[in-house]
Amino acid sequence: MTVNSLEHRLALRHWTTGVTIVSVNFQGVQHGMTVSSFTSVSLSPPTVLISIEKTTRTHQLLMKAGFFGVTILNSDQKEISDRFAGRKTEYQDRFEGLKVHTILTGAPFLEGGLSYLDCKVIDAHLVGTHTLFIGEVLAVEISHDGEPLVHFNQHYCKLQE
């Protein structure tokens, strides 16, 4: 029995995730995209994993740069998440008009995030339509107290206790 991609997508909509922006800067060109396929791999050494579709501009730049940033979004950053998820803006400057800063590698981080991870690619694995990038975390900033931006079944949600 084979599961088709639509069935797989529909099933995964029931997985609740936080929302991040993965960003890259290569030779002065900065780009980023909304990513929910992000996880910690190891605490020692600090390592994370992201999954990026091979056809995206972010993927192309990341393969060249070898570094990436992860901004963990707060619950007030829904519009930023939508902006960086848009296919129509794939070849536009998604950072235009937004406040950003860098930490170590030159990857841009969006102001107002909960925390920031500056990473160096240490491994990459091609899997189907995506590449799994494993990044060593070179620097972190914890910037903002607040609630995370959470995504479930194509909607943003708030955490409740």
Per residue in 123-161, pLDDT tens?
999 999 999 999 999 999 998 688 999 999 989 988 877
The residues spanned by each domain of the chain are 5-157
Over the chain, what is the mean pLDDT?
A: 93
Alpha carbon separation from 32 to 4, 63, 103 (Å, rounded): 28, 13, 16
Measured between alpha carbons, how far is 13 from 45 in angstroms, rounded to an integer? 31
Cα–Cα distance, 37 to 57 (Å, whole number): 17
Given CA atoms 117, 119, 125, 129 in this order, what sign does their dihedral have? positive
Would you state the pLDDT for residue 8? Answer: 84
5-157 CATH, one of 1.10.540.10, 3.90.79.10, 2.30.110.10, 3.40.50.300: 2.30.110.10
In DSSP terms, 47 is beta-bridged to: 42, 136
On the question of pLDDT at 25 being above 80, the answer is: yes
Average pLDDT rounded to a whole number, residues 60-74: 97
Determine the pLDDT at residue 13: 84
Other C-beta atoms within 10 Å of 102: how many?
Answer: 16
∠155-62-12 over CA atoms, to 5°?
A: 30
Element containing residue 78 per DSSP (H, E): helix 78-85
Instruction: Identify the pLDDT of residue 73.
Output: 96
With tokens 């536009």, the residue in question is: 92
Q: Of 56, 61, 100, 81, which is closest to residue 150 (Cα–Cα)?
A: 81
Which pLDDT does position 1 carry in this prediction?
A: 76
- Supply the pTM of this predicted model: 0.93
pLDDT score at 144: 66
Exposed, middle or buried: residue 64 (CB in 10 Å: 0-12, 13-18, 19+)?
exposed
**Residue 5 confidence (pLDDT):** 86
Section 81-90 average pLDDT:
88
**Residues of the chain above pLDDT 70, percent:** 99
Taking residues 22-48, what's their average pLDDT?
A: 96
